[in-house]
């Protein structure tokens, strides 16, 4: 399904100009690198001064789709250079887009990063990497990236996920499915709201995978004040240890998420915003060329202060020793 499957928010030329001018001013001030920690403070200050049109486009996700595409930002394929071979070699490539993405993230919430992922960067480069083709991480290519909640293993995971498309010559789709669109029997919902299984750290968190604490059992679904939310990552959930009833309910949830899934093929310059409490996302498989023309996304994450979309018991989880870095205004 094309991008039309997702709600579109179209930035007008004045908003685009304001956003890009602000990003360039910040980048010039901090020496053409978006990785300096002090830059985050300036990003927060600048985002707080955005005009009403930009703030309107950055309002919360407000439909059961649980996502939207922000459109209108220009991107020149030649200017950004070749697709990096891995996140570790990306350096400051397309640094203006790092700042643009951080500004959008700060306008929506508090940007977060992880000490144990991509060296604590607040913007991640998502590219296919040799040797990682079959992993269940953003560096894979040759397998279906299973639909999942971003960083589902951690209680401090983001509320919002932003994916900015740098390059997508092959129209490779991001898949997305909202819990608000599935149909489940009451018995299945009741089963899945019981904390019967843990969610283990994914392969992007090698340090967390060696953590010695007992994995906490967590519910897959939760009835929040505003509706059902989910925490879901079947690739890292030991379903074989669950009861037959729970496995059956989980299988029916998986089938429903597949039924309501949409495919969003982003164009360069588009930003997909996903509510991480409502929507699981993944990616279709593709054949990576490793020639500088492969799909390239930039990813940022945000927490929303005051949001009550998760069980209070999550506050007691150890998070497998992983520390979230939060950029406050």
* Mean predicted confidence (pLDDT) in 30-48: 87
Residue 292's pLDDT is what?
Answer: 95
pLDDT bin (cut points 50, 70, 90) of residue 215 is: very high
Q: Tell me the two tokens of residue 257.
A: 């998420």
pLDDT bin (cut points 50, 70, 90) of residue 135 is: confident
Q: Tell which residue, 218, 217, 220, has the closest CA to residue 192.
A: 220
Residue 139's pLDDT is what?
Answer: 80
Torsion of CA 20, 33, 138, 271, to 10 degrees: -10
Residue 117 pLDDT > 90:
no
* Mean predicted confidence (pLDDT) in 97-107: 97
pLDDT bin (cut points 50, 70, 90) of residue 31 is: confident
Residue 59's pLDDT is what?
Answer: 95
- pLDDT tens digits, residue range 218-256? 999 999 988 999 999 999 999 999 999 999 999 999 999
Residue 4's pLDDT is what?
Answer: 44
* Mean predicted confidence (pLDDT) in 65-80: 97
Residue 32 pLDDT > 80:
no
pLDDT bin (cut points 50, 70, 90) of residue 329 is: low
Q: Would the CA dihedral through 87, 91, 96, 101 be positive or negative?
A: positive
CB atoms within 10 A of CB 65: 21
Q: Tell me the two tokens of residue 23.
A: 């990003």
Expressed in angstroms, the distance from the first to the final Cα of the chain is 37
- pLDDT tens digits, residue range 276-300? 999 999 999 999 999 999 999 999 9
Average pLDDT, the chain: 93
User: How far apart (Å, rounded) are the C-alpha atoms in residues 20 and 299?
Assistant: 18
The answer to whether the CB of 103 falls within 8 A of the CB of 15 is: no
Residue 1 pLDDT > 70:
no
Most confident of 36-40, 136-140, 250-254: 250-254
Q: Tell which residue, 311, 263, 272, 312, has the closest CA to residue 61.
A: 272
* Mean predicted confidence (pLDDT) in 162-185: 97
Architecture of the domain whose range is 3-326: 4-Layer Sandwich (3.60)
Residue 5's pLDDT is what?
Answer: 73
pLDDT bin (cut points 50, 70, 90) of residue 140 is: confident
β-bridge partners, 67: 274
Strand 227-230 relative to strand 279-283, pairing: unpaired
Residue 111's pLDDT is what?
Answer: 95
Residue 202 pLDDT > 80:
yes
* Mean predicted confidence (pLDDT) in 19-35: 89
Query: pTM of the prediction?
Result: 0.95
């Amino acid at each position: 399904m094309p991008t039309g499957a997702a709600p579109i928010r179209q930035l007008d030329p004045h908003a685009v100009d304001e956003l890009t001018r602000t990003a360039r001013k910040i980048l010039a001030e901090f020496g053409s690198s978006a990785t300096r920690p002090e830059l985050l403070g300036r990003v927060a200050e600048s985002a707080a001064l955005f005009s009403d049109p930009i703030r309107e486009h950055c309002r919360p996700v407000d439909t059961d789709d649980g996502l939207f595409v922000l459109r209108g930002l220009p991107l020149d394929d030649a200017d950004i250079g070749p697709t990096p071979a891995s996140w570790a070699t990306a350096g400051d490539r397309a640094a203006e887009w790092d700042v643009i993405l951080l500004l959008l993230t700060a306008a929506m919430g508090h940007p977060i990063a992880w000490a144990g992922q991509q060296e604590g960067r607040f913007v991640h480069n998502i590219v296919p990497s040799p040797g990682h083709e079959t992993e269940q991480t953003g560096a894979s290519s040759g397998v279906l990236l299973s639909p999942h909640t971003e960083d589902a293993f951690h209680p401090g995971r983001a509320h919002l996920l932003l994916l900015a498309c740098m390059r997508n010559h092959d129209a490779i789709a991001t898949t997305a499915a909202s819990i608000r669109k599935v149909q489940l029997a009451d018995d299945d919902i009741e089963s899945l709201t019981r904390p019967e299984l843990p969610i283990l750290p994914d392969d992007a968190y090698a340090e967390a995978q060696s953590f010695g604490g007992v994995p906490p059992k967590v519910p897959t679904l939760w009835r929040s004040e505003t509706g059902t939310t989910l925490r879901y990552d079947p690739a890292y959930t030991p379903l074989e240890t669950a009861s037959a009833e729970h496995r059956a309910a989980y299988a029916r949830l998986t089938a429903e998420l597949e039924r309501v899934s949409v495919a969003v093929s982003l164009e360069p310059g588009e930003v997909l915003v996903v509510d991480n409490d409502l929507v699981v996302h993944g990616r279709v498989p593709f054949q990576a060329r490793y020639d500088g023309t492969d799909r390239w996304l930039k990813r940022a994450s945000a927490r929303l202060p005051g949001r009550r979309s998760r069980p209070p018991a999550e506050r007691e989880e150890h998070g497998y020793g992983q520390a979230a870095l939060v950029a406050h205004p």
